[in-house]
Amino acid sequence: MESNYILECVGISKAFGGTQALSDVQLHIRKGEVHALLGENGAGKSTLMKIIIGLYKADSGQIIFEGNPYSVHGPAEAIAAGISMIHQELNPEPYLTIAESIFLNREDTRKGLSLLDKKKTNRKAEEILSQFGFPKGAKTMMEDLTLAQVQMVEIIKAVSCDARVIIMDEPTSSLDSEETEHLFCTIRELKQKGVSVIYISHRMEEIFQICDKVSVFRDGQFVGSRSMEGVTSKELISMMVGRTVENIFPKTECSIGDVVFQVEGLSGKGFRDISFEVRAGEILGISGLVGSGRSETMRAIFGLDPLTEGKIFLEGKEITIKGPKDAIAKGIAMVNEDRKTYGLCLYRSLRENISLPNLPKRQKKLFINQKREKKECQEVSKQLTVKTSGIEADAYSLSGGNQQKVVLSKWLMADPKVLILDEPTRGVDVGAKSEIHTLMCRFAAQGLAIIMISSELPEVMGMSDRILIYHEGRLNGEVSRKEILGGGITQEVILAKEFGGK
């Protein structure tokens, strides 16, 4: 009997040492279907995908691809068989051209010789690129592409390898709204060509927008599949977490005090003439496309990049910030959007990570009082519910959400007046996300002035007392929580402002 499915996984189990990463899970993908995988981090989605592309071998179970038993020993074999994966973190070869990149390892050679036939490769690449309406030529260097374009090249490459199933792991995590929209167009095109897409994402609204079906995983087990029609996000979230979440954004109202932090006419690379203020207890949301100058402004305020113009006031007094050291000493803390690059020393202990910015203030003597340090770090990590075997564990051993909590711990311990959060919940699973939101509200209630940048509109709208909207390096509007709660401002309105509308 001909099966309805292009890819079927049945009864897959996999254990790492003593941990059962997958137990008896299943997945059924139809031809031309966009199939979402949902689940908190560690639910087993990635493990299953790695089994499909041959990075891991399943302990038991069966995979059937296009009606035949399927077993591969690595991504190269998977691609040859017709399954490609677009990874969340893309690692392009920066000094190859697009054409070279697409045809890497299957270059055209001249007859009889093993010399490369660059002309033919370029011509073939141009053809495929134009099919997808790609804006750059085949001879462009990979390093000159934006992240979204690199991702597109990866997708094009997969299609050119005749992939019938493409796995996309968090494809929109570093894309702005416009790029995301473009990606969705591409996915729809793929669908029409009969390509199936397995779509892994934490962003619920995207899944509703693009997917046909969803399979939910929890703790290494398959919870169930639903057709996207007729399912609510509440239902999916409760499938994922095993409980009903009443309110995704636990924003609590707290009294807003005096102006703590104020900037006037800030200019620098990527932003011009930015003025705003934040009050004690207030969460100021900042929205805008990636590259619109929002992160750039905050980096400059924190002293990571230079400012060309403008004034900064803290508690009414003008201050100058020469570097992060200055900013921290004055009471400004910043959680960077890129946790692995700017947040943590992954191979050092939590204790060292947490106390790093706080040593000048808390350890004034020549030698570090390790006993006190230990106690303080333990307290703060407990307060922020970091799940770890102990504060001597290395940072890399934690999950993304817990790592983010460690970053928050270190800045909370710095006792700041202003806390800047750039994408605080990126790459964090739903449970931890909500915990981080709760923490933010608690910090605000303690009188901190919080500035939060987020690419997720629901997050900005759900958490902020006020929202500033960036467009091409300038502020293009401000909305208040009242307006949002009143229903006058919707996601569409903010998105329009991000794109330059009034």
Partner 1 sequence: MADKKEKKILGMTQDEFNLFRKRYGIAAIMIVMIILLAIVSPTFRTAGNVVSIALQVSINGILALGMVFVITAGGIDLSIGAMLALTSVIVGIVLNSTGSIFLACVISVAVTTALGFVNGALIAKFNMFPFVVTLAMQLVIRGAGYVLSGGYSASLANADFKMIGAGKLAGIPYPVFIWLAVAVLAYLLMHWTKFGRYIYAVGGNINAAQASGVDVFWTRTKSFVISGFCSGVAGIIMTSRISAAQPNIGVGYETDAIAACVIGGTSFSGGIATIPGTMIGIIIIGLIYNGMNLLGINSYWQTITKGLLIIGAVMLDMFTNKRG
Judged by CB under 8 A, the residue of 56, 132, 313, 342 near partner 1 is 342
Which of 92, 331 has the CB closer to partner 1?
331
Interface pick for partner 1 out of 266, 321, 327, 384 (rule CB under 8 A): 327
- Binding to partner 1 by residue 366, rule CB under 8 A? yes
How far apart are CB 369 and partner 1 at their closest, in Å? 9
| Binding piece for partner 1, criterion CB under 8 A, among 100-108, 189-197, 362-370, 468-476 | 362-370
Among 389, 487, 492, 502, interactor with partner 1 by CB under 8 A: 389
Q: Is 371 a residue that touches partner 1 (CB under 8 A)?
A: no
Choose between 114 and 389: whose C-beta lies nearer to partner 1.
389
Choice between 193 and 382, CB closer to partner 1: 382
By the rule CB under 8 A, 372 interacts with partner 1:
no
Tell me the two tokens of residue 75: 């991504």
Least separation in angstroms between CB 483 and partner 1? 34
Q: Cβ(297)–Cβ(266) under 8 Å?
A: yes
> 101 near 93, Cβ under 8 Å?
yes
Whole-angstrom Cα distance, residue 448 to residue 441?
Answer: 10
DSSP-H helix ranges across 303-390: 324-330, 350-355, 359-362, 370-383
Q: Which residue has the tokens 């939910």?
A: 216
Q: Which stretch binds partner 1 (CB under 8 A): 79-87, 127-135, 339-347, 487-495?
A: 339-347
Smallest separation, CB 265 to partner 1 (Å): 25
- What is the CB neighbour count within 10 angstroms for residue 275? 13
By beta-carbon proximity to partner 1, the closer residue of 15 and 80 is 15
What are 57's two structure tokens?
Answer: 């071998």
Q: Residue 272 and residue 277: Cα distance in Å, rounded?
A: 16
Torsion of CA 369, 373, 375, 380, to 10 degrees: 160
Instruction: Find, among 94, 90, 105, 100, the residue nearest to 139 by Cα.
Output: 100
Stretch that binds partner 1, among 126-134, 228-236, 336-344, 435-443 (CB under 8 A): 336-344
Query: Could you give the count of Cα atoms lying within 13 Å of 194 in the half-sphere of its Cβ?
Result: 6
Q: Pick from 156, 204, 334, 386: which binds partner 1 (CB under 8 A)?
A: 334
Cα 170 from Cα 56, distance rounded (Å): 20
Q: Is 55 in the site for partner 1 (CB under 8 A)?
A: no
Distance CA 342, CA 411 (A): 13
- Spatial distance between the Cα atoms of 100 and 107, rounded to a whole number of angstroms: 8
Token pair in block for residue 137: 């030529």
DSSP state of 367: S
Nearest approach, Cβ of residue 114 and partner 1 (Å): 35
Amino acid, single-letter form, for residue 180: T
Residue with smaller CB distance to partner 1, 200 or 321:
321
Distance CA 206, CA 233 (A): 11
3-class DSSP state of 335: strand
- Which of 242, 360 has the CB closer to partner 1? 360
CA distance 418 to 421: 10
List, in order, residues 6 or more apart from 373 with CB less than 8 Å away: 351, 355, 362, 363
Residue of the chain from 47, 215, 336, 402 that contacts partner 1 (CB under 8 A): 336
**Nearest one of 80, 61, 81 to 14, comparing CA atoms:** 61
Task: For the CB of residue 382, give the shortest distance to partner 1 in the complex, in Å.
Answer: 17
Judged by CB under 8 A, the chain residues 303 through 322 that form the site for partner 1 are 304
Q: Which amino acid is at 28?
A: H
Query: By rule CB under 8 A, what count of residues binds partner 1?
Result: 36
Q: Is 390 in the site for partner 1 (CB under 8 A)?
A: yes
User: Which residue, 234 or 348, is less far from partner 1 as judged by CB?
Assistant: 348
Stretch that binds partner 1, among 215-223, 265-273, 324-332, 457-465 (CB under 8 A): 324-332
Q: Which is nearer to partner 1, 15 or 359 (CB)?
A: 359
Residue 265-304 contact track with partner 1, rule CB under 8 A, x = bound: -------------------------------------x-x
Q: Which residue from 29, 36, 145, 328 is in contact with partner 1, where contact means CB under 8 A? A: 328
Question: Which part of the chain contacts partner 1 (CB under 8 A), choosing from 27-35, 209-217, 329-337, 375-383?
Answer: 329-337
What gap in Å lies between CA 300 and CA 296, rounded to an integer? Answer: 6
HSE, side-chain direction, 13 A CA sphere, residue 445? 11
Residues near partner 1, by CB under 8 A: 302, 304, 323-325, 327-329, 334, 336, 341-348, 352, 355-357, 359-360, 363, 366-368, 370, 389-390, 392, 394, 396-397, 410
